[in-house]
Homo-oligomer: A and B are copies of this chain.
Amino acid sequence: MQPLDSLFRPQSVAVIGASKNREKLGNVILRNVLRSGYGGAVYPVNPRETEIEGLKTFPSVSEIGKPVELAVVVVPAERVLDVARDCGGAGVKNLIVISAGFKETGPEGLVREKELAELCRSYGMRLVGPNCVGLMDTHTPLNASFAAGFPLKGEIAFVSQSGAMLVAILDWSLTVGLGFSRCISMGNKAGLDEADFFTAAVADPNTKVILCYIEDVKDGGHFLAAAEEATRHKPVIVLKSGTSRAGAQAASSHTGALAGSDVAYDAAFKQTGIIRVKKMSELFDLAMVFARQPVPRGSRVAIVTNSGGPGIVATDNVEARGLEVARFTRETIEALRRELPLEASVFNPVDVMGDARVERFRFALDRVLADEGVDSAVVLLCHTAVAEPVETAAAIAEVKEKHPEKPVLAVYMGGESLAAGVELLAEKGIPCFSFPEVAVEALSGLVAYGSIKERPPKEDLPVYHDVDPGVVRRILTRVREDRRRTLLGSEAAQVATAYGIPAAPILLARRAAEAVTFAAELGYPVVLKVASPEIVHKTDIGGVQIGLKTPEEIREAFWGIMEQVNQHLPRAVVYGIEVQRMYPKGTELIVGMTRDVQFGPLIAFGLGGIYVNLLKDVAFRLTWGMGERGIREMIRETKAFTLIRGYRGEKPLDLPALANIIGRVGRLVTDFPEIVELDINPIFLYQEGAAALDVKITIE
């Protein structure tokens, strides 16, 4: 039994709020169920009618007297709770609440929605919606929605947070001949959400690819787990909108959703193997390719064309998308040279020339697909006087069958004269596009999924046995008792040290003599800094003195700082003066953490120092699933890595020491959820070892 089987393949469906009026949703849904060819029992429910659309009608679900697996509810919002209670009592397994008037309308609706969700939970009843269009399964078949059309049978599951988008896409899909296995409008997602539908789609034998449009994720943990598992079995392609600032505003006024930061979404998608697209068209171009073509072993693309120009455009786009223009073996080149006309280009892209009929296409495509240096092929056919679009379509499909493991995409450039060929390609399962760049874009998604599918198992955050949470707990308690949210430099250094992060120790001196003693302990030269959470720009008011080499210099600096602070900020609470040894300059890096509302701690790594904001050379990872491998991948994504591995002949820096710091920061913020922000900037990384010079920690 597959997950959500009783939802997508119920034995019986009740439509609550069924109506005789064909203009009303209560009638549209009932007729949709009937017209879709659904084979189970259908029960209209309406207390004021005895018969609708030729079916016996019941006053309530409990009075049907037979088991109901799925109830579709389309009564006014005020009556939904009563209906749900009735359904729960009658043992209904699944509820689709079409009705609007919940969270999206304001506080009152939100309360109603929470009650509905709680009520369904208490009865063990699954909930789709409220405020949704419904769902469809073309293989059951069942159309439990008010969408006008029923999609073609296909292998694409489409999960959408926007009902309107779902309806528009269904309508569009009929004209382009795209089929779906399932379409789900999730509405307000009070019960089931995208994570549940991903899991169900993975188990569904009729689904090959999962498409999803979302505006937000409500339960980050649930989403991450479900997505990470799903993408190991089937490609999941997501359009997540609200990426722009203005878009995020629209998202939140539209669905009352709190959109998380987009960087966190990017990290979540990447870490779970989701393919993220930014355009609606790309969602469906990719779906078409995934539904019909295999995932290639690699990124080496062969191009066969009857026209040079479009061939070059395709080649440009192959490189722009990070794919490889395949290099043919000598055998391939020689074979092409033998069979093709003299003027033909036998290197990639292969130009079979404008006077090519079907045979040259057939030969060239077969030959390049046989080359072991080729993982996939794009065939471009331009309308010419002698082109044979239909015959070529048949030949492409035939050749493709000889090379089942290599995807083949077609680009037919022209109009009516190519229509029959385009149609034949569709029939034969060869995706066909109007312009080369679109084919290449779709192919790049297919290639990306190759490594996603084969990725190693999910990692966990490293565990360190030498950490001392007790120290951290005591410091944080003291800070809270002090009614502060920001740790002093000395405290932050102690916290870091307790977790094995090589923080440069900072000692808090209350008197000049103490500073001198500390300097002797730490070693000269030292730097003195005023310790006060109220003084942010310490340098500006003369609160920092560097390069102090003798006890005399320290004493002088101590009193100097105190005087400056007194003069500029006489009311600031001063905890003392921090003493820190000066470190030899290393490569300046930054490691930081912010906590994402949906996905938890988000770790940042990149080039540090004062130019952090200027250069913005930063990679991000959620601590979720960030193990040793993830940490190294993250480091490699930055330009900083070029420095670390040894820039321009210099010796490499201590990568393990850096990875260790990142892992330990991840562990620290995981163990202490009250840490809401953390910044280590700069970290000096050396050829051996590292030093965390300045640690900033903020708690809730």
Give the interface of A toward B (CB within 8 A): 28, 104-105, 146, 148, 160-165, 167-169, 171-176, 213, 215, 239, 241-247, 249-251, 253-255, 278-281, 306-313, 315-320, 325, 343, 345, 347-349, 351, 354, 382-385, 413-418, 434-438, 540, 610-611, 614-615, 639, 642-643, 647-649
Contacts and interface: CB of A to CB of B under 8 A. Distances in A.
13 contacts: A105-B343, A162-B310, A164-B306, A171-B418, A172-B413, A172-B434, A254-B311, A278-B317, A280-B310, A280-B313, A280-B437, A540-B649, A610-B647
The complex is assembled from copies of this chain, and their number is 2
Contact of A250 (B163, B243, B311, B413): B311
Given A164-B309, A279-B313, 15 more contacts: A160-B309, A165-B382, A167-B384, A168-B310, A171-B416, A172-B414, A174-B415, A215-B309, A241-B313, A243-B319, A247-B312, A250-B349, A278-B437, A279-B438, A280-B435
Contacts of A639: 614-615
A571 B309 CA distance: 53
A434 to B, nearest CB: 7
A615 B606 CA distance: 13
A315 B146 contact: no
Given A164-B307, A171-B417, A437-B280, A244 B318 contact: yes
Contact of A165 (B167, B242, B310, B642): B310
A316 B241 contact: yes
A148 B215 CA distance: 48
Contact of A168 (B164, B239, B413): B413
Contacts of A239: 313
Contacts of A249: 347
B414 A315 contact: no
A617 B175 CA distance: 47
Given A247-B312, A313-B239, A345 B253 contact: yes
Contact of A241 (B148, B242, B309, B347): B309
A171 B104 CA distance: 48
Contacts of A104: 343
Contacts of A642: 614
A384 to B, nearest CB: 6
B164 A308 contact: yes
A642 B616 CA distance: 13
A309 to B, nearest CB: 3
A436 B280 contact: yes
Nearest to A100: B343
A21 to B, nearest CB: 13
Contacts of A278: 316-317, 320, 437
